[in-house]
Amino acid sequence: MAARAALVAAGVALSLYALHVEHEASRDPAYRAACDLAPAVSCTRVFASRWGRGLGLVELLLGRDSVANVPNGALGLLYYILQGVLGAVPGQGSAAALLGTSAAAALASLWLAAVLAFGLGDLCLVCLGTYGLNALLLALNWRRWRRLPRPKTH
């Protein structure tokens, strides 16, 4: 329980920071976030790109102005809150939801990591942090799923 709480708290903090950076950058084009260490190490550049909203996919499918094209930080915030809430609920249903959502987050992390490496050519430290958290939550949720009691077959 403590491990989940720590991972969720870190994820919420990184997601809120990502939202803050995106907001400040939209207000002030000269804004430099603490995670902007060099031209190719810039979370601001990543969050301001089309890939910083809707995983870069919503814009392709529904358009830039779609209500579904929300910042990735907002998606992350919802995900980490869900992980925290469901993590406190016992049972197979919550374990399945935890595992399913963490597998989806891990796939999204792989997608966005590929976009960083091959599309944007950028290194986003906040992004890398969330990818690591997502991998750890996936492992934690897999372990929880495996420890569930299985029905006996005759």
Q: Judge whether residue 100 has pLDDT over 80.
A: yes
pLDDT value at position 140?
98
CA distance 100 to 121: 30
CA distance 92 to 98: 10
What are 31-69's pLDDT values in tens digits?
999 999 998 999 999 999 999 999 999 999 999 999 999
Contact 53, 107 (CB under 8 A): no
* Superfamily (CATH H level) for 2-146: VKOR domain (1.20.1440.130)
What are 67-96's pLDDT values in tens digits?
999 999 999 999 999 999 999 999 999 999
Domain boundaries, the chain: 2-146
Give the residue-averaged pLDDT of 142-154.
86
What are 16-27's pLDDT values in tens digits?
999 999 999 999
Contact 62, 82 (CB under 8 A): no
Beta bridge partners of 38: 41
Q: Judge whether residue 154 has pLDDT over 70.
A: no
Whether this prediction's pTM lies above 0.75 is answered by yes
pLDDT value at position 152?
75
The average confidence (pLDDT) of the chain is 94
Return the SS3 of 71: strand
Contacts for 102 with CB less than 8 Å, ≥ 6 apart: 83, 134, 137, 138, 140, 141
Q: Judge whether residue 151 has pLDDT over 80.
A: no
